[in-house]
């Protein structure tokens, strides 16, 4: 009977924790850190649902623009060579079907959510262990999942913007402050700045708080450990995005950071 009750409790969704995490994160992290069973499902489901809505709205706007003959060009399109511009136009024409507009972007975004959570959770646990933290892998995965709620807030803000303006977000994050150029260092810096916004900073603060509460590390070690992990993830994501842009000359969809 005890095993059945425990199994039911471990699978129960924790939607009541969401407002507490956003408003009183310390108290919520204390509860999360006291549990050894998985409680990561709720925030990941919320983020996944928000991502799907966002991808649907983006796809609908792109479809409407294609019907009206409107094309959203990348910010540095005027710096493309004539051959690159022609390739971009051909790619746009060949990717107007529902599979390319709705299905593939949604699958890619969902993979970013779940694999990003796995990679960040494992890497954070490794770094924190090297710094002397005493937390377990399960607790690290729970902390990373609940720290991702700011990303769901970002998705909600973007959804509201899309519904009101019916326009795509051209320069996400700090990418508008990047250097002009479509290759080399300017392009790589653009990929990094695209990932940085207030919601990422919010998530970093939550990660530091969660690590301190769950591992017993002092503030300095918790901050350095989280920042090292964040930097590694940012460089990996930016490098993959940069490589995809160089090899395929494609406008890569913004990846998720966890």
How confident is the model over 211-241, as pLDDT tens digits? Answer: 999 998 999 999 999 999 999 998 888 777 7
pLDDT at 249 over 80: no
Q: What is the pLDDT of residue 168?
A: 87
User: For tokens 């940069």, what's the residue?
Assistant: 242
The span from the first CA to the last CA of the chain, in angstroms, equals 37
In this prediction, residue 253 carries a pLDDT of 40
User: pLDDT, tens digit, for every residue of 176-221?
Assistant: 555 555 556 677 787 788 888 999 999 999 999 999 999 989 999 9
Average pLDDT score over residue span 229-256 = 68
Quick one: pLDDT band at residue 123, thresholds 50, 70, 90? very high
- In whole angstroms, give the CA distance from residue 11 to residue 169: 37
Read off the pTM.
Answer: 0.80
Task: List pLDDT tens digits, range 137-169.
Answer: 999 999 999 999 999 999 999 999 999 998 888
Phi–psi pair at 76, nearest 5 degrees? -105, 30
What 3-state class would DSSP assign to 206?
helix
| 62 CB-near residues (< 8 Å, 6+ apart) | 72, 101, 168
CA distance 118 to 36: 17
């Amino acid at each position: 009977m005890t095993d059945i009750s425990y199994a039911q409790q471990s699978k129960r969704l924790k939607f009541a924790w969401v407002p507490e995490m956003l408003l009183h994160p310390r108290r919520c992290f204390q509860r999360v850190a006291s549990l050894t069973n998985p409680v990561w499902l709720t925030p990941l489901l919320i983020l996944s649902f928000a991502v799907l809505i966002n991808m649907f709205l983006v796809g609908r706007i792109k479809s409407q623009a294609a019907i009206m003959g409107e094309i959203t060009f990348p910010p540095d399109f005027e710096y493309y060579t004539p051959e690159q511009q022609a390739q971009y136009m051909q790619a746009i024409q060949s990717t107007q079907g529902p599979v390319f507009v709705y299905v593939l972007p949604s699958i890619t975004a969902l993979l970013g959510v779940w694999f990003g959570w796995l990679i960040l959770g494992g890497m954070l646990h490794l770094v924190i262990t090297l710094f002397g933290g005493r937390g377990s892998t399960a607790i690290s995965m729970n902390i990373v999942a609940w720290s991702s709620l700011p990303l769901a807030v970002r998705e909600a803000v973007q959804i509201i913007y899309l519904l009101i303006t019916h326009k795509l977000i051209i320069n996400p994050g700090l990418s508008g402050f990047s250097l002009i150029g479509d290759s080399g260092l300017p392009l790589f810096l653009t990929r990094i700045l695209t990932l940085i916004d207030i919601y990422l900073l919010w998530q970093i603060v939550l990660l530091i708080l969660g690590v301190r509460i769950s591992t017993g590390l002092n503030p300095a070690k918790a901050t350095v450990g989280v920042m090292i992990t964040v930097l590694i993830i940012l460089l990996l994501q930016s490098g993959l995005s940069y490589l995809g842009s160089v090899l395929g000359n494609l406008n890569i969809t913004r990846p998720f950071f966890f």
